[in-house]
A and B are shown apart, each in its own frame.
Chain A
Amino acid sequence: MGDGVWKQNPICVQMLGICSALAVTNKLANALVMSGALIFVLAGTGLFVSLLRTITPRRIRMIAEVAIIATFVILFDQFLKAYYYPMSRQLGPYVGLIITNCIVMARAEAFALQNKPIPAVLDGVANGLGYTFVLGTIAFFRELLGSGTVLGHTVLASEWYEPNQIMILAPGAFFALGFLIAIINAVSPSLREAQP
């Protein structure tokens, strides 16, 4: 279980799902909602792929996985549109794009297909938390340095801190992710060797 959060962190170590990690991290709130969506989808997909693992024909297993993933993603998207409309507008297409997020497919293929439902759900949640950790960290620094705020509250007052626009824009995401991976590799070199 700990593997998904740290040792085999989906983004920093497995290098999966980077696209969305870069796209929705300009504000901490966006990153957290996105992470919540991913945890929900990972846990749900893990549960159902695992439950159906003995009766799913091997030849169409990937199609079946995608159908299950898509169902959960659309459920979450509908829920956001109905109850958190402004958030749904901010995340735009990225919630829908969870369907193609490699983490979900990878966990379904690599873990849920071979394991019992409860470990599969836990694996999904663990990987989701790993994703949350990375997105949260990146978004925290991007929002702090880019707008001087944390969750919309001003922390770095504008009198003495000039917000660094680049952190909000796309290049800032690359810098932040690069630094994060570099730091993680520096503090625990074993992770680098654990890479597939």
Chain B
Amino acid sequence: MTSELDPSLIVRQGGRTASRMIDGKAVVVVIDAQRMHVLNPVGARVWELCDGRSVGSIAEHITREFAIDGETALRDVVRFVSELNDVGAVQLSAEPST
């Protein structure tokens, strides 16, 4: 299921979320679900990059910044973004907004 997410999709942090960095980790609250999620440093960086760029672009950043191979980064980012989408933390779209 999660591996089917298209890397060309544009991803943004959900408007009904709030996040803060604490001790190098990100805490993300999905306000309407009243759930808090704690992201490790790599997850926190992915979350930070969910600013309107594509999933594939985020994976390229992770490849460079964390010195892991591109295939692994793309697989992990696709899975992670899918999980964020499942809990309502991000919005996915086919086209970048103007």
Q: Do A and B come from one complex?
A: no
The interface of chain B, by Cβ under 8 A from chain A, is: none
